[in-house]
Amino acid sequence: MGIMVLFFLISHKTVLAQKLNMNLHKGKVWTENSSLSPELKVDSLFIRKIYDEELVNGKCYTNLHSLCFDIGERLSGTESANKAVNWGVERMKALGLDSVYTQEVMVPHWERGAKERGYIIVHNQKINVPICALGGSISTPNEGLQGKLVMVNGIKDLEGLGKEKIQGKIVFYNRPFDQKLVNTGDAYGAAVDQRVLGSIEAAKFGAIGVIIRSMSSTLDSFPHTGIMVYDEKVPKIPAAAISTLAANALTENIKANPETEFYFKQSCRILDPVKSFNVVGEIKGSQYPNEVILIGGHLDSWDLAQGAQDDGAGVVQSLEVLNVFKAMGYKPQRTIRVVFFMSEENGSSGGNKYREIVEKRVNERHIAAIESDDGGFTPRGFGITSSEKFRNRFETWKPLFVPYGASSFTYSERGGGADIEGLAKISSALISYDCDNQRYFDIHHTANDLFSQVNQRELKLGSGAIISLVYLLDKYGL
């Protein structure tokens, strides 16, 4: 009897799946709003075709494999970054676009040097721990740097301790991600000031170096690099990140023995800025060529790994808009422009240069600017910064994304992404691609940001969502 019931359930589910598959290919796409206007019903059918093309023939995963293995890490100012620029130009030209060109930009040049070393010193015993220099940091002395520790939860704690308790010591910034925050980006934003500004603030109180708990919601042995800055009016001191597991071990040792010391050695160098490029490719609009829809990701990455999720995924998803439109023979009414920005990780030089250039083009208007820089995970929707008038337009499109799990449209006063946020004055909407990024900050800025961490299906579904939104923006404008 049990076997018969099980057989019936399996057969019933198979029949349902077959019916659903048939309906999808007939264009009968379910939405949460069964009263779509005739025009939006036409759009639902076209969006289904976009997804069919992307999921079956899409090139984003293949392009990402090439970027990760033919080029690899792409720290701005390096020869690898130059190779990535050439890679971008070649990939765009291969699509037969109306124009492909570069935008010259001066970018920071920083070298990590030899692999960093770090250990905890307790009762003359040395406990090796994984660390990495923060991007932009100076080196330690040749013999390394050793000192007693001051553990704080954040920059605000420094004032309470004062110079007397900090001078001559290494400040250990130990504020973890707030695990109560569902959005990992919010947790990152709440903790990242200690990484970016921690060295400046600690140096004001006489610290000789800083160690930063890695920006991650998970416990592992991967230290996370990332940008930090100096103030020319404040002494420069070396800064390194320590993995979250090692941070916990360091915390326990300090609590058990306040005389605990730390040693670290790093050989990084700050060099003069060098010339690099943004890469730009366009399909000109057939009716409104001066109205631009921009899609972009940043071509550079940190130097510890392949930069697959950050932001190789965003680069290939942006390129996929052009690839799919070309493959489908779709001729946009408005100009579709894809930009691979350089040096987002080191201060958004490429984004700033793009803004500087387009602000001078009096006959050009940006309908929207979209950035994918949150990883290539399962799509959820889009974060949108626009006027109330245009928000209503986006709301009418939401039902079209329901079948694909990408209908979460959220609105904020400021957003879009680091490379495009400066376009707020000249763009009707700034848009970020939002995905299920719960694992993003486990990988972000680490040696684990590898091609193997990207799922082909998730990457393609995200591309489909972005392409579909660009199609709607092109058809209806803002």
Q: Which residues have a catalytic role annotated?
A: 344
Helix runs in 192-243, H state only: 193-204
Q: Which residues contact 141 (CB under 8 A, 6 or more apart)?
A: none
**What whole-number distance in Å separates Cα of residue 120 and Cα of residue 149?**
10
The full DSSP string for 306-368 is --IIIIIHHHHHHHHHHHHHHHHT---SEEEEEEEES-TTTT-HHHHHHHHHHTT-TT-EEEE
Distance CA 323, CA 312 (A): 16
Q: Rounded to an integer, what distance in angstroms lies between the CA atom of residue 179 and that of residue 96?
A: 47
Tokens representing 414 are 């400021």
CA distances from residue 310 to 281, 299, 303, 314 in whole angstroms, order as listed: 21, 9, 11, 7
Other Cβ atoms within 10 Å of 6 Cβ, number: 10
Q: Which two tokens stand for residue 334?
A: 């408005």
Distances 79 to 12, 26, 71, 74, 130 between C-alpha atoms, Å: 58, 50, 10, 8, 27
Amino acid in the structure at residue 473:
L
Nearest to 336 by CA among 461, 431, 471: 471
Contact 453, 443 (CB under 8 A): yes
Q: Which residues pair with 288 in a beta bridge?
A: 334
Answer for the pair 379, 365: CB distance below 8 angstroms, yes or no.
no
Structure tokens that stand for 345 in this block? 């990780």
Q: Residue 438 belongs to what H/E stretch?
A: none
Residue ranges in 359-444 assigned as alpha helix (H): 388-397, 440-443
CA-nearest of 366, 316, 324 to 340 is 316
Q: How many CA atoms does the CB half-sphere of 100 hold within 13 Å?
A: 16
Classified as helix, coil or strand, 237 is coil
